[in-house]
């Protein structure tokens, strides 16, 4: 299928072929009929992409600070690579779509195949959208009108926060798409409305919809006009739907308002507020969040957990329904807002118009999709790419499951450099897989992982998906007779581990490697060499300045990420196990506490006792500052000390013939790990990490993770 993509690095807008996504549980697979280009949001993204480095930095000063902090801790070269990779990722444009349901995922019963729905799906011929972000289109509402639903819901949520009542005086500042929709919705609610804008054409439309207008291009004064309009009383509320860096819209709104008036910001403005503007009148100011309650809540949007109607009357989905109902009743007329129509195949021209003209509603119309790999197409979920150059190691033919940031920034460059033949990459949505597939020279990309596993040419599977799927894909790959590399962790619990152990035994000579890359870091390899001459017990202090991650992040979900110890702490348990070279005999966990008292699994110490009497402790802490380097390892043995700082600086104290080993850039061992992996496969050797050690480290990590969460 075809999808519109934006490159934030170059500003290029393209219509790219990507595989059609499969339907997910709790979601709908929708064949698009029309979609609306958001003149405000999407123009902003396009202009940001076209901006130079300096202008990009000026627009995102918070991101600049993050880059500077990363450069201080990880080095300039690593930071530059990370920034380049981030800007290289394609952005799917669009969020106001209408189409016909092709298939409903498991658990979706209220919507059926063949029904028309609106969604916040992107501009693509086929979209897969969670059910709470979809709403049924009434029979009397056209596709063109329905395409305005999501944009309308943004304005409606701002109106709900403003809480206007019948007969109140409300000003709408900014008469773009959202502003003009708000004018109509406020009028339908019985409010008297005044619109303010610089564009005479938009002012004329607002007047057509029943509003008083202030045309700033003619030098009209909105404050004086509002005072005259309200007979000196001041307006009851102001809805700001403008997009500007200026602070003036908020100042004007405060000046217009009566005592205890309300101001709601739906658009984007400068926010250097004057206390004097708000103090005497006791004004309220609020920023509206997108479509309404549920937005950015993974439980609502991704897991389909609706909010009870009695407690949350208007969720984002119910706001969609309300907008559609107003269209059905004739209270909301979007026909005057349509300024351009383009066939989807000419979507790039739509973005040229967005940059060169002053459009309002740009509609993309989707015709017959069969010629472009629609859902009926035979190979819609798998598409051929340009193909890779001849592999340096032709015996290693790789299929990659997962196409996230880490995969693209770290693993694939290392895997390609190691010389493997990159056969096929699978992703759930198709977009990231298609992008990385083209970038690194894969022969195919797919959204159907079963097809990858069934491909007779693929003899090696690399798994980089979310943690809760690792065990499932490892078992499936082993059953298919493939050799396996899986990013950490191997699995999330002992039951999954036992299943994998059984599959390895049944396979006979199975090859399984887990991405414990730190044991391949050049400075760690040197530490291993130095410690090899020490016969007495060694003592390790591993300090991890892990940093804060919100509780609603997927890595914190026990059923998805498994928690931070299972997801990341396994690295450090394996690192100590590698350097000691002896079996882990005991794991002890001390949990930190929050101010209120309960244990905090993000702040803990893991004590490890080894068979030779060596001892190690991993201090995994989220309470530190991100400007401090993330990882430090100290080793005390035989009257000597080794000190490794963030895989950039290694110093030795008391070591004959060794003082330091410093690197220009951070090296956590990913490239060496992939080389060892590919060469072992080529030579028919065992995994570079012994299977027994992988099992041992996984058991110790599950034990530590269970203690952390308990």
Range of the domain at 117: 2-148+334-370
Structural domain ending residue among the three candidates 255, 287, 319: 287
Domain containing residue 482: CATH number: 3.40.50.720
Cα–Cα dist 362/49, whole Å = 20
Q: 138 and 42, same structural domain?
A: yes
Q: What percent of the chain has pLDDT over 90?
A: 79
User: Which of 59-73, 214-228, 252-266, 404-418 is the least confident region?
Assistant: 59-73
Q: 581 and 476, same structural domain?
A: no
The pLDDT tens digits for 161-182 are 999 999 999 999 999 999 999 9
Q: For the purposes of burial, counting CB atoms within 10 Å of the CB of 194, is it exposed (0-12), middle (13-18) or buried (19 or more)? A: buried
Does any domain span residue 298?
no
Does any domain span residue 326?
no
Q: At residue 708, does pLDDT exceed 70? A: no
Cα–Cα dist 123/152, whole Å = 17
CB 668 within 8 A of CB 525: no
The pLDDT tens digits for 227-258 are 999 999 999 999 999 989 899 999 999 999 99
pLDDT of residue 368: 65
Q: 507 and 586, same structural domain?
A: no
Q: 571 and 435, same structural domain?
A: no
Q: At residue 458, does pLDDT exceed 80? A: yes
Q: What percent of the chain has pLDDT over 70?
A: 91
Does any domain span residue 325?
no
Cα–Cα dist 32/28, whole Å = 12
Handedness of CA 570, 576, 579, 581 (dihedral sign): negative
pLDDT of residue 40: 77
**Tally of CB atoms within 10 A around 709:** 14
The pLDDT tens digits for 498-553 are 999 999 999 888 999 999 999 999 999 999 999 999 999 999 999 999 998 888 88
pLDDT band at 377 (very low <50, low <70, confident <90, very high): very low
Q: 564 and 487, same structural domain?
A: no
Q: At residue 639, does pLDDT exceed 90? A: yes
Does any domain span residue 310?
no
Count structural domains, the chain. 4
Structural domain ending residue among the three candidates 316, 346, 370: 370
Cα–Cα dist 25/494, whole Å = 26
The pLDDT tens digits for 309-324 are 999 999 999 999 999 9
pLDDT of residue 59: 64
Domain containing residue 559: CATH number: 3.30.360.10
Q: 567 and 687, same structural domain?
A: yes
pLDDT of residue 379: 40
The pLDDT tens digits for 666-676 are 999 999 999 99
pLDDT of residue 80: 65
pLDDT of residue 710: 46
How many residues comprise the chain?
710
pLDDT of residue 700: 96
Does any domain span residue 605?
yes
Q: 638 and 559, same structural domain?
A: yes
Domain containing residue 348: CATH number: 3.90.180.10
Cα–Cα dist 655/647, whole Å = 19
The residue among 629 and 478 whose pLDDT is bigger is: 478
Does any domain span residue 342?
yes
Q: 651 and 522, same structural domain?
A: yes
Instruction: Output the CA torsion 617→618→624→626 (10° steps).
Output: 140
Q: 159 and 113, same structural domain?
A: no
Residue 520: C-alpha distances to residues 72, 517, 531 (Å): 23, 5, 15
Q: At residue 376, does pLDDT exceed 60? A: no
Structural domain ending residue among the three candidates 370, 390, 416: 370
The residue among 271 and 594 whose pLDDT is bigger is: 271
pLDDT band at 77 (very low <50, low <70, confident <90, very high): low
User: Which of 186-190, 238-242, 482-486, 705-709 is the least confident region?
Assistant: 705-709
pLDDT of residue 45: 74
Contacts of 356 (CB under 8 A, 6+ apart): none
pLDDT of residue 398: 97
Q: At residue 112, does pLDDT exceed 90? A: yes
Does any domain span residue 295?
no
Does any domain span residue 70?
yes
Q: At residue 403, does pLDDT exceed 90? A: yes
pLDDT band at 49 (very low <50, low <70, confident <90, very high): low
pLDDT band at 25 (very low <50, low <70, confident <90, very high): very high
Q: At residue 709, does pLDDT exceed 70? A: no
pLDDT of residue 38: 87
Q: At residue 642, does pLDDT exceed 80? A: yes
Q: 566 and 443, same structural domain?
A: no
Q: 445 and 412, same structural domain?
A: yes
Q: At residue 63, does pLDDT exceed 90? A: no
Q: 649 and 538, same structural domain?
A: yes
CB 406 within 8 A of CB 461: no
The pLDDT tens digits for 286-313 are 999 999 999 999 999 999 999 999 999 9
Q: At residue 378, does pLDDT exceed 50? A: no
Largest Cα–Cα separation, the chain: 92
């Amino acid at each position: 299928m075809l999808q519109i993509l934006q490159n934030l690095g170059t500003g290029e807008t393209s219509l790219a072929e990507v595989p059609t996504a499969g339907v997910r549980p709790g979601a709908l697979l929708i064949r698009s009929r029309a979609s609306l280009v958001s003149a405000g949001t999407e123009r902003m993204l396009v202009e940001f992409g076209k901006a130079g480095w300096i202008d990009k930095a000026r627009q995102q000063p918070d991101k600049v600070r993050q880059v500077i902090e990363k450069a201080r801790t990880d080095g300039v070269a690593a930071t530059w690579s990370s920034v380049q990779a981030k800007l290289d990722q394609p952005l799917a444009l669009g969020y106001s779509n209408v189409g016909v349901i092709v298939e409903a995922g498991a658990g979706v019963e209220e919507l059926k195949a063949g029904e028309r729905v609106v969604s916040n799906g992107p501009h693509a011929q086929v979209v897969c959208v969670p059910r709470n972000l979809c709403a049924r289109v009434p029979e009397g509402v056209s596709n063109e009108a329905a395409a305005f639903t999501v944009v309308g819901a943004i304005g409606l949520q701002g109106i709900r926060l403003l809480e206007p009542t019948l007969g109140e005086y409300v000003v709408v500042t900014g008469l773009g798409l959202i502003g003009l929709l708000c004018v109509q919705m406020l009028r339908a609610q019985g409010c008297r409305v005044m619109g303010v804008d610089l564009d005479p054409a938009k002012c004329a439309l607002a007047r057509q919809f029943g509003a008083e207008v202030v045309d700033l291009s003619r030098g009209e004064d909105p404050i004086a006009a509002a005072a005259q309009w309200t007979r000196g009383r001041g307006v009851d509320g102001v809805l700001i739907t403008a997009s500007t860096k200026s602070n003036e819209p908020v100042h004007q709104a405060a000046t217009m308002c009566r005592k205890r008036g309300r101001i709601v910001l739906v658009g984007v403005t400068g926010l250097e507020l004057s206390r004097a503007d708000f103090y005497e009148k006791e004004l309220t100011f609020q920023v509206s969040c997108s479509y309404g309650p549920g937005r950015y809540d993974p439980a609502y949007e991704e897991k389909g957990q609706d909010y009870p109607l009695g407690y949350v009357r208007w969720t984002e989905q119910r706001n969609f329904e309300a907008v559609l109902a107003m269209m059905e009743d004739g209270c909301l007329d979007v026909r005057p807002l349509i300024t351009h129509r383009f066939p989807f195949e000419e979507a790039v021209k739509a973005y040229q118009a967005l940059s060169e003209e002053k459009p309002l509603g740009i509609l993309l119309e989707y015709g017959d999709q069969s010629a472009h790999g629609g859902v009926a197409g035979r190979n819609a979920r798998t598409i051929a790419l340009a193909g890779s150059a001849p592999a340096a190691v032709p015996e290693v033919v790789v299929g990659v499951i997962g196409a996230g940031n880490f995969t693209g920034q770290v693993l694939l460059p290392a895997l390609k450099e190691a010389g493997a033949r990159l056969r096929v990459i699978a992703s759930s949505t198709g977009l990231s897989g298609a992008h990385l597939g083209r970038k690194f020279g894969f022969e195919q990309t797919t959204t159907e992982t079963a097809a990858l596993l069934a491909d007779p040419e693929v003899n090696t599977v690399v798994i980089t998906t979310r943690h809760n799927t690792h065990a499932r894909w490892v078992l499936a790959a082993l059953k298919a007779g493939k050799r396996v590399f899986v990013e950490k962790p191997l699995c999330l619990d002992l039951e999954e581990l036992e299943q994998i152990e059984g599959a390895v035994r049944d396979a006979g000579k199975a090859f399984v490697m887990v991405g414990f890359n730190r044991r391949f870091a050049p400075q760690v390899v040197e530490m291993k060499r130095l410690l090899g001459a020490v016969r007495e017990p060694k003592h390790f202090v591993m300090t991890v300045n892990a940093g804060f991650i919100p509780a609603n992040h997927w890595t914190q979900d026990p059923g998805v990420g498994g928690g931070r110890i299972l997801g990341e702490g396994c690295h450090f348990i394996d690192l100590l196990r590698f350097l000691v070279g002896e079996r882990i005999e005991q794991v002890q966990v001390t949990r930190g506490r929050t101010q209120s008292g309960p244990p905090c699994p993000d702040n803990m110490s893991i004590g490890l006792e080894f068979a030779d009497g060596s001892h190690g402790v991993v201090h995994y802490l989220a309470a530190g500052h991100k400007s401090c380097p993330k990882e430090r390892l100290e080793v005390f043995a035989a009257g000597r000390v080794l000190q490794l700082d963030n895989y950039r600086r290694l110093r030795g104290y008391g070591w004959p013939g060794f003082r330091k080993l410093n690197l220009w850039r951070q090296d956590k061992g990913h490239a060496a790990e992939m080389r060892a992996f590919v060469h072992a496969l080529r030579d028919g050797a065992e995994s570079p990490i012994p299977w027994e050690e992988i099992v041992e480290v996984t058991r110790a990590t599950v034990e530590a993770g269970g203690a952390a969460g308990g």
